[in-house]
Structure 1
């Protein structure tokens, strides 16, 4: 932002539309568009426009990475480790290299996604990276057919020197456990999250503690408490399991590299490729036309992308690398497990006095297995003690996963708050109304969500815990959802408007199935008085202006203000050129219904395309950047900006528990959420539906299972890795709150993370209401349920 830029004080509106809208004063760049009215008064924004790409997807015309076919393209097969921990003594690729059709073989020199030794000299003599988990990629072959690549890969001979290994969290925590790394490690955060603070102590497999969020005097806080609740909570490893597995087509021609990638951020793929292969970024193009799902693990090139690029350079041909389902489960990311020891103190009126958390989590060979920020940021408390440890195991690395850390943390924390309400004999909703005082604007939204949710869900009919008669018991539960409101600074949108009236909108962000194209088109169409289908949207290409990653619920909050600002600038430019034709002032012109007309005089108007032609316009190009939020940020770190406000909501769940078989069924869920201004309510509802379904799946079914003796994942597939299906999906109702903040030119925020993170906690609290027993372990399998029912 230029230091010479002019600002002006504007009166905007903030609050819940229909309830608490109030004027607020904001210092706004003079070039920003005027405030939009509420959605009810807009033409396109706030309406359920159909997805722009629906026809392409249902007809099969949408090109995913799997569909990319290039002339002379080669096919690959990866050689993965068959042992969980070993030194590689030798690799013989000679027979594979001589196999008919093989064009290149490459052995991986460096393992990405894993922690690295602080002192690399401890393994300096190793010719190859040490194997630290079963399924670790080691090498790959490229051949003229998939069958030839598969056959050649089987000819590669690897001689291992096995080392002791450990695969389970609590085993790895023991002082005499086999060490995954021979010394202290570091791992920087990537675009997809992960990583851990630098310089933390490490003893054996335990790295930490990290104490972020701690404050006050914890012992004094517990002395001041009238009631103390505590418990030990466990969550499992969950793998991402997107519909489309990781895939990349690498095409290294001469000194330029083109990558077709199934990714959540084309720019982080370019950055990592540039770093690994020492190429200027301008020599690398990354394309992601369509991506078949991504929940946090599809960032950067990863190990498989590295292999594909090496093979392409060696073979001087495009190389296709698409993972099979086992590789997807084992080696490209997962949600870490956790063991959380949580203790909360409160006064008799519910006021929190102390929160103490000691947590352990394993991301396998990676750091970053934290349990989120909810313990120190959801509800104000003067005394907070946080100690988190990463626990290394011989298992595949973790990666960000839809609300990283927060899903694990809220499962424990919101259950503890529920337990506190029970001890205080307070209604769980009433307790949260008492303690949720972190920010005035956020408090009003959360209180409204709790009130609306309780009314719609029939909360007043909730029985006392365990009082439902008979072997199948029903219960109601609720939990609060929270996620940071994040903005990506480096977001630019460009509009190109031709004299014929065609409008093309460009941004390098990608659409991973969430509807980004549609939202982009709606915002532009609103400013130009057109319909979304009249806007041609171009995304998913590093040749376009920079855009945000599809992660952290930040695309809508980052993209839409830049899109609106570019469209507003274009509209003002057009108005200045068309005004003389209508003998009016430019500021009197409005864009509405496909026409440019004088305000309050629709007869004085021209059709959009006709106006451009008569004004002699050939091509207009306007670009705009995402400006900082008008009220600023609580924290800025590079491209990542964290607002002092949050996004979130409340989820209510009804469950039935068969106390004889241990089978839990989620009958219905009500999700009441805010995401600022909903640009397309149907797309927002779709995100929330997906979040609830994924949360139910996490709560009841998903669980990576490793064989302790071999490190093999026993359910690295779709039939045995249990997930929620159509029969297990509950009835889901979504209620949206239109919440304005006077923060940007659109006031839009994301919703993906908060739609997911509170689901398991709400289900667990409903389980307690049904049975009178607290369930401390996920997933809620019959075995875990029956154990909970037998507990004291």
Structure 2
């Protein structure tokens, strides 16, 4: 699933609901609709006959919408959760990659003989194809070779499997690689020059894949500049001619690496009857599919398991080079092979593209937008997917819009999808420009957004910000007289309702009263297990802790990949549908035992009750004890969206900060966020997601930056010592308010929060608060002391 170019549901083949067949029997139901703060309404929808009845609002439910502790929390804190790195199989070997030591060149020879002779080495594999990078449109433009061309330092060349980590490391150092070195370029600005070294000898495209990244094929390419990908609505020149006020500026964002706690990794056990893959992945199904495709296997012979996962922000969907190498070594050595990337390798293979954006916006004196023109250049290394136009295209209504997005190839690791691909970069520019426009119009930035924003959810969120923060006391920019200057700012986000129809669950009810759910969907740490337990618990009237959740295994019914905020909106309807159908089967099976009919039974106050006799009620265990069989089960798949209305989500985040104008230090003191994600299933989990997004957003705005050596072509800070991320001392006070938003689109009305949860807005909100504090626009991140002092005119800008 390519996440870098996601668009609203009606514009995306991946996101569009499956078209309901006209012969599916349906019924009309009335659903709760709207936002509680604005007053709830009823909306009629046609739904398939086997769908459960509509849910009331969360206030009327027992478990849905109530804060619930993580289902797997105790196992994690006690060290009982088994991550991929914890998997140890009998006879398992340990693998190590041999990486390219140059940024660009042809491989003349690879000598593995010394490595093969080292005692304990059981397998060596020299790579014939590198996955995850752009491919030449015409392969004949490159001289044929038995080895792939090296296009970035750290590109995998070979893999070695041995009986211990140390032996594998020692063997990797014995591999001798002879290169024919070629000119290289690792800086986006340098790569745009006409005489810059060519990363590819001709036009190249990166297809969208399970690993993220990619973009449209066949776009123009000149030198290293791939694009533009253009969107043109109306007439921007006419729009700017009609404008009373115009703002224009340049904005720069940096490459950010993923830095998940658990690196990419696999344990592969290749057997003729089945290949078993333990993977740190966001998509068990997508990993299975890629393994099957690469090795020409039927999907039924590939099993992927992800019991626990140590974080994934969009880069962990596919087999990847490391997975293919581990599988090949396992096949050759006839033994299980574990291959986990080290921290240096992890920094190289997964990053958010940078950007250089030129943005121009026009408006009339009353605030009406007349034109938006965005031109952006970004690098995803040897891949594509550096677009930034999402916020400018989808946040506010504007009759005239032109966006040109360019990818710039450089000799660095490929970009990968990273929470809300393209949106943090785009929002940093766009929401600051909106604030600047408000200043020129002499309008309060929040009031200005009230004028131009049609989203009812964000309207409710702005009201929360107005009521619960210090916004009304906001002072003029640069009001503080001393060296420490304080300010406040806000920014908004937009994300899309994206749904995967590959979302199925099975629910089983046993004679002893136990209830379990099974699905191949996995939990990357966002609380999917907890959410599924809540959904099933609500149907059966039992505590969520009583439901057994078995997920993360492709032997179970197919589940969606966890990315793009797809998971909650896709899998929860399938879970509820399966639980409802299992419950109906249970009622039908046991009703004769109680001298009644199935339609006379209901779940009420945690018991199975009789509709015609309030005095008769039984526990679930008492009822299931009457089952004529050992268990009953139901399997259900998510139904299509109930309507094709365009749905977006978003949030509004408010920041208070202090700027030390003598040292250049920016300290975030408080963040207040108001967010919606449809119907929140577990508010505690949703707030946790938003907290994480806010912290990542602060880290992106202030600290994180990939630093490349222009002369040697290597990443200089490919570790967690020199690659600075936010730490405990930089965490501000964070307060979150959830805005319920019922949209009547599925049997749960749930949606994801992973993309719009603070990660999009924080750099922009901090930028706006920086302006309010100092009267100076910060158009470049990260806001390091050097960059801050440069913006304040106190030091000369230092190039990274």
Output one character per residue of 1:84-130: Cα deviation in whole Å (capped at 9) or x when no partner.
Answer: 11110000011111110111100111111100000011225122111
- 2:518 match: 506
Output one character per residue of 1:611-646: Cα deviation in whole Å (capped at 9) or x when no partner.
Answer: 11224242111011111111126xxxxxxxxxx111
Q: Post-superposition shift, 1:3?
A: 4.1
Contact residue 415 and residue 764 of structure 1 kept, 8 A: yes
1:424 aligns to 2:441 (yes or no): yes
- 2:486 match: 474
Pick one of 689, 695, 707 that aligns with 2:691: 689
Q: Post-superposition shift, 1:178?
A: 0.2
1:41 aligns to 2:53 (yes or no): no
- After superposition, residues 60-209 of structure 1 pair within 5 angstroms as 60-209=79-228
- 1:527 match: 539
CA distance in 2, matches of 1:140, 1:706: 25
- 1:663 match: 665
- 1:59 match: 78
- After superposition, residues 441-590 of structure 1 pair within 5 angstroms as 443-590=455-602
Pick one of 769, 773, 776 that aligns with 2:772: 769
Contact residue 187 and residue 195 of structure 1 kept, 8 A: yes
CA distance in 1, matches of 2:656, 2:417: 29
Output one character per residue of 1:347-398: Cα deviation in whole Å (capped at 9) or x when no partner.
Answer: 0111010000110000000011111411111101111011111000000100
CA distance in 1, matches of 2:563, 2:110: 38
CA distance in 2, matches of 1:589, 1:242: 48
Contact residue 245 and residue 362 of structure 2 kept, 8 A: yes
Q: Post-superposition shift, 1:278?
A: 1.1
Contact residue 362 and residue 369 of structure 1 kept, 8 A: yes
Secondary structure at the aligned position of 2:586 is classed as helix
- 1:637 match: none
Contact residue 582 and residue 605 of structure 1 kept, 8 A: no
1:705 aligns to 2:724 (yes or no): no
- 2:12 match: none
1:15 aligns to 2:15 (yes or no): no
Secondary structure at the aligned position of 2:517 is classed as strand
Contact residue 391 and residue 493 of structure 2 kept, 8 A: no
Contact residue 528 and residue 592 of structure 1 kept, 8 A: no
CA distance in 1, matches of 2:470, 2:602: 46
Q: Post-superposition shift, 1:594?
A: 4.3
Pick one of 778, 781, 793 that aligns with 1:778: 781
1:730 aligns to 2:732 (yes or no): yes
CA distance in 1, matches of 2:46, 2:390: 30
1:340 aligns to 2:343 (yes or no): no
Q: Post-superposition shift, 1:18?
A: 4.6
CA distance in 2, matches of 1:296, 1:602: 51
- After superposition, residues 597-636 of structure 1 pair within 5 angstroms as 597-599=609-611, 601-632=613-644
Secondary structure at the aligned position of 1:433 is classed as helix
CA distance in 2, matches of 1:602, 1:679: 29
Output one character per residue of 1:172-224: Cα deviation in whole Å (capped at 9) or x when no partner.
Answer: 00000000000001111113431111110111100001003x21111101000
Change (3 A) 1:580 1:255: closer
Q: Post-superposition shift, 1:49?
A: 1.7
Output one character per residue of 1:718-754: Cα deviation in whole Å (capped at 9) or x when no partner.
Answer: 1110011110011100000111111111111111110
Q: Post-superposition shift, 1:76?
A: 1.2
- 2:395 match: 378
Secondary structure at the aligned position of 1:396 is classed as coil
Contact residue 8 and residue 30 of structure 1 kept, 8 A: yes
Pick one of 745, 748, 770 that aligns with 1:746: 748
Pick one of 317, 320, 326 that aligns with 1:299: 317
Output one character per residue of 1:219-255: Cα deviation in whole Å (capped at 9) or x when no partner.
Answer: 1010000000000000000000001111100111124
- 2:347 match: 329
- 1:308 match: 326
Q: Post-superposition shift, 1:583?
A: 3.8
Pick one of 276, 283, 286 that aligns with 1:258: 276
Output one character per residue of 1:637-670: Cα deviation in whole Å (capped at 9) or x when no partner.
Answer: xxxxxxx111111000011000111100111100
- 1:400 match: 417
Secondary structure at the aligned position of 1:77 is classed as strand
Secondary structure at the aligned position of 1:719 is classed as coil
CA distance in 1, matches of 2:112, 2:639: 53
Q: Post-superposition shift, 1:24?
A: 1.5
Output one character per residue of 1:544-564: Cα deviation in whole Å (capped at 9) or x when no partner.
Answer: 111111110111100111111
Secondary structure at the aligned position of 1:488 is classed as coil
List alignment gaps of at least 5 residues for structure 1: 438-442, 634-643
- 1:355 match: 372
TM-score by length of 1: 0.96
More off after superposition, 175-184 vs 53-62: 53-62
Q: Post-superposition shift, 1:581?
A: 3.7
List alignment gaps of at least 5 residues for structure 2: 1-19
